[in-house]
Amino acid sequence: MTFTKYESLRDRVVLITGGASGIGEEFVRAFADNGARVAFFDLNTDAGQALVDALAASARHKPLFLRCDVTRTDELKAAIADVRQELGPVSALINNAANDQRQVYADVTPEEFDATMAVNFRHIYFASQAVVPQMIELGAGSIVNMSSITWQIGAPELMGYASAKAAVVGFTHSLARQVGKHRIRVNAIAPGLVLTEKQQRLWFPTPESVAEVISNQFLPDAVMPADIANLALFLAADDSRMITRQTFSVNGGRA
């Protein structure tokens, strides 16, 4: 299979949160492969640096990795300021960082609930807040927020996560209206099960468990990180210049 290259992304600054592994890693690879100036945040320093090293020789621009705890808003905003200083104003923001930790509803404490919201929603709000002025300066921009189909299907062990991912959609709609006059587009992606290494290791460790999910899809293939990255590339590129306030499901037609 062959996929589109987006010339409009060449040399643009793209910021990705949670970029050292999983879907985030695929975002970093995809945008770097399209010639963007990629910056990404993560807590895993070893994985982040390894990804930079892996792409340094082939990428048009060596990615910039910054260790950042996105749940600490001051740290998040400081890291975004560092990206601006190093690479210039951000043209595309991919709000990807998340944690789909399973929880027993009856046992969740207020502190655990607040932590769930912080890692799955709050940083999306404040990263966008920090980047919008840079996009206004540029005269355009694209924000892509990662949601999930969990809030649509009612996953019982993911109530906090699903609530946060539903909030992402509401925020996406409101922010799109707020910043549209500046030609800033805001969209969301709501994946189904994506077969990252983490998902297979923790939640779907057997071929049978994966097959059960795929059996509920219209398409008979697993959704892979590259499938999500290909959509993010389109939404960040000029090709989608009149698309905003949308949430796109990538789930193989899962019923």
Angle subtended by helix axes 110-117 and 159-179, to nearest 10: 40
pLDDT digits (tens, 9 = 90+) for 13-32: 999 999 999 999 999 999 99
The pLDDT value recorded for residue 254 is 86
pTM: predicted TM-score of the whole model, two decimal places: 0.96
Yes or no: say if 38 and 94 are a contact pair by the CB < 8 Å rule. Answer: no
SS3 of residue 255 by DSSP: coil
Yes or no: say if 105 and 158 are a contact pair by the CB < 8 Å rule. Answer: no
- Domain CATH for 75: 3.40.50.720
Window from 129-133, 237-241, 250-254 with minimum mean pLDDT:
250-254
In a domain, 211, yes or no: no
In a domain, 30, yes or no: yes
Cβ count within 10 A of residue 26: 23
Res. 196: pLDDT tops 90: no
Res. 111: pLDDT tops 90: yes
Percentage above 70 pLDDT, the chain: 99
In a domain, 217, yes or no: no
pLDDT digits (tens, 9 = 90+) for 135-152: 999 999 999 999 999 999
SS3 of residue 28 by DSSP: helix
Cβ count within 10 A of residue 235: 23
- Give me the DSSP letters along 157-224: T-HHHHHHHHHHHHHHHHHHHHHGGGTEEEEEEEE--B--HHHHHHT--SHHHHHHHHTTSSSSS-B-
Mean pLDDT of 244-249: 98
Angle subtended by helix axes 225-236 and 22-33, to nearest 10: 50
In a domain, 209, yes or no: no
Mean pLDDT of 86-115: 97
Mean pLDDT of 122-133: 98
The pLDDT value recorded for residue 78 is 98
Res. 89: pLDDT tops 70: yes
Yes or no: say if 166 and 120 are a contact pair by the CB < 8 Å rule. Answer: no
Give all strands of the β-sheet with 13-17 in edge-to-edge order. Answer: 64-67, 37-42, 13-17, 92-95, 141-146, 184-191, 247-250
In a domain, 214, yes or no: no
Res. 183: pLDDT tops 90: yes
Res. 203: pLDDT tops 80: no
Mean pLDDT of 192-207: 84
Task: Pick the catalytic residue from 6, 105, 125, 161.
Answer: 161
In a domain, 74, yes or no: yes
- Is 161 catalytic? The answer is yes
Mean pLDDT of 59-66: 98
In a domain, 218, yes or no: no
In a domain, 212, yes or no: no
- Give me the DSSP letters along 35-102: T-EEEEEES-HHHHHHHHHHHHTTSSS--EEEE--TTSHHHHHHHHHHHHHHH-S-SEEEE-------
Q: How many domains does the chain have?
A: 1
SS3 of residue 144 by DSSP: strand
The boundaries of the domain holding residue 125 are: 7-195+225-247
Res. 118: pLDDT tops 80: yes
Res. 205: pLDDT tops 90: no
The pLDDT value recorded for residue 255 is 65
Mean pLDDT of 51-73: 98
- Mean pLDDT for all residues in the chain: 96
Mean pLDDT of 3-20: 98
